[in-house]
Amino acid sequence: MIELLMRLAPLEGYNLTALPDVRFLRSNRPLRRTPVLYDPGIVIVCQGRKRGYFGEQVYLYDEQHYLAVSVPVPFSMETDASAQKPLLAIYFRLDLNVAAELIMQLDEHGATVTSEPHGMISTPLDKQLGATVLRFLETVSDPLEGPVLGPALVREIYFRVLTGEQGPSVRAALTRQGQFGKVARALRKIHQSFDEPLDVALLASEANMSVPAFHLHFKTVTNTSPMQYLKSTRLHQARLLMVRNDVTAAVASAQVGYESASQFSREFKRLFGRSPVDEAQRLKDSFALPDPGPGSGYVSSH
């Protein structure tokens, strides 16, 4: 896997593949507590180590563990990497239609289970999933086989995750069970309409919950308040706009819904530790950040 990824990910940052929802990541330097916001997806590390910090919980994903994200939650992430031993990973942005089809088939074959849904899970990488990932990397290394056979192997990787050790929790989250599902509807509203005026009452209505109940369950799922989550989403999206579209901080702040450019700058520096101009330049100088392609309905920054 390492030998293949060294060739498939020549650039530091995210490298494009023949498949629109798959990226190869290479990092030649350590990162310390960097704010991130993942789309729903799967992260498989083939060399190196990542740690995600979500409240009091620590999620390890390395050569022995993968990360599955069912709903976007803001957390901080750090990595162990160096030029001599770069971090090498694969990011699969989740195609919710493919996942839903698989879940229905599992249900039809008697694999229906009830489990507590979790927005983010770190799980040991078993032999079956590891073998599928290796075959996937071998396939996408071939310019003909990659686009033709790759999608079937991505589907198999989804299957291995959904039926793995913590697959029931992932499936419960993706099918939006209980209060988790109500909060998930509000999350999707935030990601689809982050540039519009949103308040807690509107989001609680979207979730079909009272405002106090919505506050409580929202924080349980995301470890933050609805308004802090909205702010984080806007700031992550603004950072991507500055890097990918080469717009100014003032333009980016207006496009994500800020009325005050000075407030935007203050809150941006509080989250990322740098001014908008400095952070955008750092990313442009240091990392390959390809456009993510057609949106999934979520903002992602990682």
| pLDDT digits 0-9 by tens, 161-207 | 999 999 999 998 888 777 888 998 999 999 999 999 999 999 999 99
- 2-174 with 178-286: one CATH topology? no
Q: Does residue 300 have a pLDDT over 70? A: no
Angle between helices 211-222 and 226-244 (to 10 degrees): 50
Mean pLDDT of the chain: 89
272: burial class by Cβ within 10 Å (0-12, 13-18, 19+)?
buried
99, 202 Cβ separation under 8 angstroms: no
Q: For the domain 178-286, what is the CATH superfamily, name and number?
A: Homeodomain-like (1.10.10.60)
* Confidence (pTM): 0.84
Which residue intervals of 223-275 are DSSP H helices?
A: 226-244, 249-255, 261-272
81 CA to centre of own chain? 20
Calpha distance 128→182 (Å, rounded): 34
Extents of the domains making up the chain: 2-174, 178-286
Confidence of residue 285 (pLDDT cuts 50, 70, 90): confident
Q: Quick one: CATH architecture of 2-174?
A: Sandwich (2.60)
